[in-house]
Structure formats: structure tokens, C-alpha cells
Amino acid sequence: MHHFALKNGVLHAEDVDLSVLADTIGTPFYCYSTATLTRHYEVFKAAFGALDTLVCYAVKANSNQAVLATLARLGAGMDVVSEGELRRARAAGVPGNRITFSGVGKTAQEIAYALDEDILCFNVESEPELAMLSEIASAKGRTARIALRVNPDVDALTHAKIATGKAENKFGIPIERARAVYREAAKLQGILVSGVDMHIGSQITDLAPFDTAFTILASFLDELRADGHPIDHVDLGGGLGIPYRQGEDPDSYHPDRYAAVVKARLGHLPYRFIFEPGRLIVGNAGILMTSVILVKAGEAKTFVVVDAAMNDLIRPTLYEAHHEVVAVTEAPADRPSATVDVVGPVCETGDYLAQGRIMPLPQAGERLAVMSAGAYGAVQAGTYNTRLLVPEVLVNGADYSVVRPRPSYDDLIGLDKLPAWLR
């Protein structure tokens, strides 16, 4: 569910008229809904009932400070994958003891900083990382709480670029090797074994892979208990998908059904459960607003050329991802429909937001909303073709705030510095 809906023929974000907002701010821009962020967090948290849980929002999905602060005030922890994300989480008011640090390539500098912030847990992805963490923690006189990320070799049945739980993926330690690595970890200075971590992928809409992975994990936890490891938590990662297409049934992978799988396979264990949802929380809480520049009738296709582009939202060309595209103002009933590609002005054939869509043929100057763009949208945006980063807006009821302003061309070009011999 989200809080973007037509009111009197005009799309609103909660109680804010998006047509008026576009006139004020100028397109393109991202718009996020506080009510949707709040509802999604609370529904996910509530699904686990009496289980001892900590929901650590995956910062990589959308790292805007306003989004992080909104979730932090609801009690969310944060899962980070870089020093920058850790700094963002701390700046949003999240204490170190509610932060987990994931990622396959943590640097020595990042590890040292995270140790100083006394974070809850490092999710360790390799034996070399474990050795480096021990060395740095010992030198600083600190103890690093760790969980090994175990790879169960389970196909998450999702896009190949966001699957993380197969043997061929770069993530985690093979579960067949993990028991021996835990034995080694228990002997290392500066290391406290405190958990187990497993994350098999993203945008998972079939619960069967979770069931398989958690069954494997339950057996592995029995082995760790037999070895005497003082495990206090199990991190099950994130990955639960969201509906991107109109007509999809969100109940087929509702948090309640996911929680039922967790409880069935692991709920009897005396551990705290950590979850790392990202897309589930923020994906349908955001849209990308854009304006039609022109409509171009080609030989084989009709192109609706808009002012947002692949540098603003790369998911369609990177992941072949589907985003619904809707008119901000309802078209007249007598307007003819056409099959169109919605494309941007970037000089790449891959610059498209939607392909083969049937819609009332938009006209120049009209606004469109690219739906379900709250996750992996603005965070992956760039300045290709010297295009400005788009602003981000957070709506709360009838109020809105620009939470990342649009930079100027002077700001962008000023990032380059000429060497002395070219001045």
C-alpha cells in the first residue's frame, strides 16, 4: 500500500497536489511519503509478534537523511555497507548499538571507524576480512562483535544481478566451510562471535527460497550450539519483494506470510532476530516526477520524451525493471491511447523509463509519475551528460520539504579543478 492517489483527477502524495508541487519545484524530482514509510515499517515490525526483533533498515535502498531520520524515530536500526552510510546513520540519530555493517569489501579505514562507533555487529563475508578485523580491533584495544555471513547456495528466484545466496555469487562464506571458520573466529583476539548472518537476495516474491534457506540455517545453528558458540542473534537479511506492476497481489508476499516462514523454521530458537529490509520499506513510498518534453513518432515506435533519464533512475535499463508510469492529471476521456516508449534525453539507446506501454497519448508539458521509485532510485542517480542530480522531496500530510535541493550548474562544474598549467 502507498499514499499516492488521484483526488479530483490529480495525483496527490498524501494531501499534497503533485501538479502544484511540480510547478513550484520543477521537474524531475523524487517525492517520498512519510505515511507510507511509517506504515511499511510498522507492518513489517508487527508481523513478528512476540519474537525479539530488531529491524535494521538497509540504508543502501535510499539513504536520504530525512528518510533515515523518519525511520530512526520509529525505532529502526540501520544496516550499512560503507563508512559513508554509517556516517549517515549516525547523523540521523541512530546509535551504534542499532547498526550492523555488511558488505564484501570493508576497508581498514571503514573497520576502524566502525569500531570507534561501537556498532552492534560486523557481518563478516570472508576469512581475510575476519583476520583484518581481528588485527585492527586488537591494535585499538577493542572487541568486534561479529556474525559470519553464510552462503547457503539457494537460488532466490530473482534477477541475477540482485541474487546473493548462490555459490557463484561473491557474498558470504560457503555454509560447508562456515563451521570451521567459526572455530577459528572464536580463537582470534579482538573478536567476539555473537551471531549468524544470511541474506540470499533482493526483490524475492516467492517465499519458497526463504523456506529452503531458513531450514538450512536452522540445522547450521544446531551445529554452532553443539560447538558451544555464544550466539545471541540471527540476522536474516532482507530481500522480501514489493509489487511493481498494477494488478499484482501484494498479499502473496506480505510480511505476515514471510514472518510465518521465519517462525516455522526458526521461531523456537532463543535468539534475537535481526532483519534488513530496504526496498520493502521505501520502494513504494517514492515516485519520480517528470514532464513531457515532446512526443516523437518514429518509424517503428512512438516515443514520449521526458525530462527524467537513465541517470536519474537507472533500474529499467540496469535490471530490466518495470515501473508503472501514470499521468499526474487525468487525460480527457476522448484522448486516444497509443503504445509508447517513455524515454529520456540522454544520448544512449538504453535511456528509457518504460517500454511498450499503452496509455492515453501524453502531450508536451504534461507531467508523468514513475511509480515505485523510492528504492534504488536517487541513491543510484548520477550526472551523466552533465545533468544535475534531481532534488528529493518528503511529504508529510499537507506539508512538504525539499530534503535534497537541486544543485546548480556552477556547483556541478565547480567540482572539477584545473591543474596549474591549464589556468
Query: 207 and 192 share a domain?
Result: yes
> 176 with 129: CB under 8 angstroms?
no
DSSP 42-84: HHHHHTTTTS-EEEEEEGGG---HHHHHHHHHTT-EEEESSHH
User: 354: domain CATH number?
Assistant: 2.40.37.10
Tell me whether residue 421 is in a domain: no
User: Which of 289-308 are b and which e, b meaning 16 or more Cβ less than 10 Å from the residue's Cβ?
Assistant: bbbbeebeeeeeeeebbbbb
Q: Which cell numbers hold the place of 409?
A: 550548474
Count: domains in the chain: 2
Q: Which three cell numbers stand for residue 168?
A: 557463484
3-state helix, strand, coil in the chain (%, to 5): 35, 25, 40
Q: Are residues 162 and 176 in the same domain?
A: yes
Last residue of a domain, one of 281, 298, 323: 281
192 lies in the same domain as 289? no
Total residues found in the chain within this entry: 423
Could you say which of 31, 56, 121, 347 is catalytic? 347
Looking at the structure, tell me whether residues 315 and 365 fall in a common domain: yes
Radius of gyration of the chain (CA): 23
**Residue at grid coordinates 526463504:** 210
Question: Could you tell me the sign of the dihedral formed by the alpha carbons of 149, 152, 157, 162, in that order?
Answer: positive
Angle in degrees, 0-180, between the axes of helices 108-116 and 83-91, rounded to the nearest 10: 20
CA–CA separation, 283 and 279 (whole Å): 5
Q: What local confidence, expressed as pLDDT, does residue 168 receive? A: 63
Q: What CATH number is given to the structural domain containing 207?
A: 3.20.20.10
* Residues 6 or more apart whose Cβ sits within 8 Å of residue 319: 159, 161, 162
> What does each C-alpha distance from 298 to 262, 309, 325, 362 come to in angstroms?
51, 19, 21, 16
Domain presence at residue 420 = no
Closest to 373 in 3D by CA, of 389, 358, 353: 353
* Residue 54 forms part of a structural domain: yes
Domain assignment present for 146: yes
Query: Is 347 assigned a catalytic role?
Result: yes
Residue 117 and residue 160 in one domain: yes
Q: What is the DSSP string of 318-334?
A: HH-----EEESBPPPTT
Nearest to 275 by CA among 74, 48, 118, 61: 48
End-to-end CA distance of the chain: 55
Amino acid at 130: L
> Which pLDDT score, from 0 to 100, does residue 152 have?
86
Mention every residue, 6+ apart, whose C-beta is less than 8 A from residue 109. Answer: 83
Same domain, 237 and 131: yes
Residue 85 three-state SS: helix
Per-residue pLDDT tens digits of the chain, which is 423 residues long = 789 999 999 999 999 999 999 999 999 999 999 999 999 999 999 999 999 999 999 999 999 999 999 999 999 999 999 999 999 999 999 999 999 999 999 999 999 999 999 999 999 999 999 999 999 999 999 999 999 999 887 866 655 655 554 456 667 899 999 999 999 999 999 999 999 999 988 888 889 999 999 999 999 999 999 999 999 999 999 989 998 988 777 676 799 999 999 999 999 999 999 999 999 999 999 999 999 999 999 788 999 999 999 999 999 999 999 999 999 999 999 999 999 999 999 999 999 999 999 999 999 999 999 999 999 999 999 999 999 999 999 999 999 999 999 999 999 999 999 999 999
What residues make up the domain containing 352? 4-31+284-413
Query: What secondary structure does DSSP assign to 194-229, as a single string?
Result: EEEE---BSSB--SHHHHHHHHHHHHHHHHHHHTT-
For residues 79 and 190, membership in a common domain is answered with yes
Judge if 365 and 274 occupy the same domain: no
**Would you say 288 and 393 are in contact if contact means Cβ atoms under 8 Å apart?**
no
Q: Helices marked H in 56-174 — which ranges?
A: 65-73, 83-91, 108-116, 127-140
**What pLDDT does residue 159 have?**
55
For residues 8 and 126, membership in a common domain is answered with no
Residue 245's Cβ-side half-sphere holds a number of Cα atoms within 13 Å equal to: 9
Interatomic CA distance for residues 120 and 131, integer angstroms: 19
Instruction: Check: pTM over 0.85? Answer yes or no.
Output: yes
The DSSP H or E segment spanning 180 is helix 175-187
- 8 Å CB contact between 187 and 235: no
- Residue type present at position 281: I
Four-residue CA torsion sign, 368, 246, 204, 2: positive
Same domain, 277 and 297: no
Flag whether 274 is in a domain: yes
User: What's the order of all strands across the beta sheet hosting 4-7?
Assistant: 4-7, 10-13, 16-17
Question: Does 422 fall in a domain?
Answer: no
Classify residue 12: in a domain, yes or no.
yes
Instruction: Name the grid cell of 196.
Output: 549468524
Please say whether the beta carbons of 144 and 138 come within 8 A. Answer: no
Residues 181 and 52 in one domain: yes
Q: Which residue among 281, 306, 321 closes a domain? A: 281
Residue 147 domain-assigned (yes or no): yes
